[in-house]
Structure 1
Amino acid sequence: MDRRCRRALSHYSFVEIEMSKRLPKTEVSGSDPYCVLTEGVLHKVLAGELAPGDRLTERFIVETSRCTHAAAREVLHRLQGLGAVVVSQRRGARVVSAREAPPDEVELVWRRLLPLLEAAAGSVFSAPARGAPAERHVATVQALKRLETLSGEHRLAQLLQQIALQRAIVSGGS
């Protein structure tokens, strides 16, 4: 590992400690420093600091998380993989909006796929209906992970986690 990489990782450990003090853990929780940065941006989206359709730039991530531009690009890539942002060439990234994820269609897919996971797990999904959006989303993801463990349906649970995130962002509920 070269000197630049070590220096960057030591900075990320500082950011990780600071972020972990303030944020609830989401579905990207892990020891990877990029996970902490991704959680921070997701928390801002779920808290309403970034509204659906808002531009999300590398500069914003760099300034709010005190990370490098390379790390910010990785965070954007991970957020795109989670379905939280839409990245278009020459336009940058935007938080997913009702245009890319119509709430009625997202809800329909949620209602059709969730019973499949429940049937495979032999258990019923339960998540709290009250609380802050970020807390509701975390509880939803935890309940989905429990069903995933019971069912062994990793891909279906992962897809439902993406849908739950888009549901939380676009319609404000999980």
Structure 2
Amino acid sequence: MGSLLKGVARVRWSELRDAQGTPAGGIPPLLSRIAYGGEDTARLAIDELGDLVCALGFVLGEATAPAVPFLFELAGAPQVPCKAELLELLESICRADNWHSSAAAAGGPKRTGFQEQPTWEVAARAAVHAGRPVVEGIASSVRPEEAEAARKLLRAMDEVPPFPEV
């Protein structure tokens, strides 16, 4: 996949489920389109990727946390377009708590049906928090849309700490 995204092949995407509940094998080609396509191609790929890693802007999947470091790799690469859109997707991932809230609301014996999903949110949010140094670097960008998106993500990280263990 070129100099970017070298680690993508080490993830067993087809064994993971995306935010739509299907095998996550579609994630690597979208990451590649973001890395190596033009601005229009990248923008469309980010939109499609958002459906797979953060459906509806708040539902995460098992494959979300493994995808997050690659989103940061792309956001931090100088030649990759649409950094603001990548950062907005990361903010949505950071703020997502659909499964966690559902598990808490279910309580009692019904809660066991939600055991995996809140763990996915914990892992994804932790992965977003781990990328803070990249976001701090982008926050001083000379491109206002990138800097503002980075500052919004930093605020989200401050407001929404990683979940406690479920």
Q: Which TM-score band (shorter chain)? A: under 0.3
Whose helix fraction is larger, Structure 1's or Structure 2's?
Answer: 2
Please say which structure displays the higher CA radius of gyration. Answer: 1
